[in-house]
Structure formats: C-alpha cells, structure tokens
C-alpha cells in the first residue's frame, strides 16, 4: 500500500507531518557538518527557525542544558543575531533548505512584535511566522501566553500586519491551554503549536546551587510527553484551526499518538539533540505504522481521541 503522508497546513503543502520544534535544530550548523546530504535527506517537511528578537542577544550564562531522567532542562536564553542580523546572515542560508520556512519571533511589547512581524513577513523566503508568547509583556508584566486577554490583544495588534499564516506557540505552564488557544483563534491566528517547555530546575547537591547558569529553565523530552498529549487533545477540542503537536516525540508511534489526538502536524524537538536524523526515522516509522494499520493516511481531525471532560 502506498501511504500518502502529505498535509495541508494553513495552505502550505507539506510532504509529511514531521516538523522541528523551534530552537532544537541548527540547520545552518548542520549544513556545515553534513553538506549536501542535509539538503538531499532533509528530515523535516518545514523548518521552524530558532526564536528571533528585535535586537541581538548573547543568551544565558552556562551551563545552559541539564539532562534529567527522560528529559532535558534548557535555559538557552534566546541567543540570536537580532532582526537585521537574521535577515542579512541567516535568512539567505535558511532559504536554501528544500522545505517551507517558518520564522519564530518574540518581543516584549506589541511594538517589538510588530517590528519583527513586518520585517520578517515581507520576505518571500518566509512561508509563515510562529509567535513565541512565552515571554512577559513589559507593559503589563504578564506572560502573554499565560493570559487569554494578553494573547488576544497581541493577535489583534499583529493580525492586520500580514496575510501570511501566523502560528502561536503555546506554553504548557497554564491551567487551561484551551482557553489560550481560543483567544489566539479569536484574534486571527491560523494555527497553534504546543507544547513549549515546562518550567523546571535542578540543584547540584555538592554545591547546593542550581545546575543551570540562569537558575531555572524549561523541561522537554519524553518526560513531558503524556502531559503534552493531554494538552494537544484539549486544545484540538477547543479550536478549529490546525494544531501542531509536540513534546517528547521520539518514534513513529509517538507521532501517531499526537496525530490521533487531533494534531495536523507534529514536531520533533529534544530528540534532535541526540540524533540530528531522528525526525527522518520518526517519519519512516510513522509510515510503517500506518501501513501496518491498513489506514493508508494519518488520522483526520474527526477521528481523534476525545479529550476527557473531567479530571
């Protein structure tokens, strides 16, 4: 049986549903390491850039990563070249990748986000933008993605600035992710992606000091997969726009669980750190699993596992 893995994500045709999580795969460094092999066997059907801020940032002091049982805590702290540096140095290289490009952006005010959206969206190389809302709004002091009113206000400010698809990357650090997703949809978002990392920390017993330079960070990897799956189910029930599911995807079976939970596409994140080709294996395993099930296609949104209505 031939398996058709292609998906339509907000009008962007993807060969298969496996993306990367923002900030988990440095495609420019990988091209230097693997050369043309990376382009010929690119593991993702669309590439999501690491998050871009208006001005350059050095990132957090080391250590920036600490491995935990079945997971990893990161506090990378958004190192990036800033908007002008990204457009001049990174965008031309990312545009050479053989898949659509999604650029992740983060600001601390509507004005900063607007500058990023306008600067990035006007470039033909960019297929869509992802708004990383896991950051405080300096005007209100509230984390944008933790409050529906903040999320709605941001989308209302940004939606008129571009006709390109706007994805909203949701934080799992809320009681009701469905409520935030509904606010994003009401403000005109084209898709939501989830989950970002869970707030976490680790302490070194020898020094009794934090293991991370910044003191705390975000947990990812298989440790958070069941939580991510539950939130994807809840969000897929709450909104009609596409959901991009992620959180500890390491195998085709994991990918299928997210698709069966209402995700249109999935992303591989932490697994890329151990094996930069992991997403290719996930896609092949997904294909084999669908072939074995006799279904021939990934599950459609209507076939999804219903989210529980009680706790």
Catalytic residues: 135
Which one of residues 5, 76, 157, 305 is an interface residue with ligand RRO (CB under 6 A)?
76
The closest alpha carbon to 83, from 104, 69, 98, belongs to: 104
Nearer to ligand RRO, 51 or 233 (CB): 51
Q: Report if residue 24 touches ligand RRO, rule: CB under 6 A.
A: no
165 DSSP assignment:
-
Which one of residues 7, 12, 23, 258 is an interface residue with ligand RRO (CB under 6 A)?
23
| Least distance between ligand RRO and beta carbon 157 (Å) | 20
| Least distance between ligand RRO and beta carbon 262 (Å) | 22
Which one of residues 187, 218, 242, 245 is an interface residue with ligand RRO (CB under 6 A)?
218
Compute how many residues bind ligand RRO; rule: CB under 6 A.
12
Q: Report if residue 137 touches ligand RRO, rule: CB under 6 A.
A: no
Strand ranges, E, within the chain: 7-9, 12-14, 18-20, 47-48, 65-68, 71-74, 101-105, 126-132, 166-169, 191-194, 198-200, 203-204, 209-210, 217-220, 243-246, 265-268
| Least distance between ligand RRO and beta carbon 132 (Å) | 5
Element (H, E) at 112: helix 110-121
Provide the token pair at 305.
């596992």
C-alpha angle with apex 143: 139 to 147, nearest 5 degrees? 105
Mask 196-215, x = binds ligand RRO (CB under 6 A)?
xx------------------
Mask 96-135, x = binds ligand RRO (CB under 6 A)?
------------------------------------x-x-
Which one of residues 28, 67, 70, 77 is an interface residue with ligand RRO (CB under 6 A)?
77
| Least distance between ligand RRO and beta carbon 94 (Å) | 17
The closest alpha carbon to 161, from 141, 131, 139, 191, belongs to: 131
10: left (phi over 0), alpha (psi -120 to 50) or beta: left
Kindly state the greatest CA–CA separation across the chain: 58
Interface residue list for ligand RRO (CB under 6 A): 23, 51, 74-78, 132, 134, 196-197, 218
């Amino acid at each position: 049986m031939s398996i058709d893995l292609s998906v339509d994500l907000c009008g962007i045709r993807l060969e298969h549903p496996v993306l990367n999580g923002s900030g988990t795969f440095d495609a420019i460094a990988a091209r230097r390491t693997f050369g043309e092999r990376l382009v010929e066997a690119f593991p993702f059907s669309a590439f999501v850039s690491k998050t871009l801020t208006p001005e350059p940032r050095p990132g957090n002091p080391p250590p920036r990563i600490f491995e935990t049982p079945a997971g990893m805590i990161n506090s990378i702290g958004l190192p990036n070249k800033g908007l002008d540096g990204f457009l001049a140095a990174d965008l031309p290289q990312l545009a050479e990748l053989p898949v659509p490009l999604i650029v992740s952006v983060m600001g601390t005010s509507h004005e900063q986000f607007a500058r990023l959206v306008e600067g990035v969206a006007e470039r033909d190389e960019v297929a869509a933008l992802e708004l990383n809302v896991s950051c405080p709004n300096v005007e209100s002091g509230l984390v944008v993605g933790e409050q529906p009113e903040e999320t709605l206000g941001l989308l209302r400010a940004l939606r008129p600035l571009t006709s390109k698809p706007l994805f909203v990357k949701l934080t799992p650090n809320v009681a009701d992710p469905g409520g935030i997703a509904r606010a994003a949809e009401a403000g005109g978002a084209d898709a939501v992606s989830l989950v970002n990392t869970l707030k976490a920390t680790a302490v070194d017993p020898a020094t009794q000091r934090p293991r991370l330079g910044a003191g705390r960070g975000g947990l990812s990897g298989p440790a958070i997969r069941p939580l991510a799956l539950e939130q994807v189910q809840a969000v897929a029930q709450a909104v009609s726009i596409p959901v991009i599911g992620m959180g500890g995807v390491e195998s085709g079976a994991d990918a299928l669980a997210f698709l069966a939970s209402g995700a249109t596409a999935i992303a591989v994140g932490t697994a890329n750190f151990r094996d930069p080709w992991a997403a290719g294996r996930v896609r092949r395993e997904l294909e084999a699993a669908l072939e074995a099930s006799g279904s021939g296609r990934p599950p459609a949104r209507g076939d999804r596992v219903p989210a529980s209505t009680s706790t």
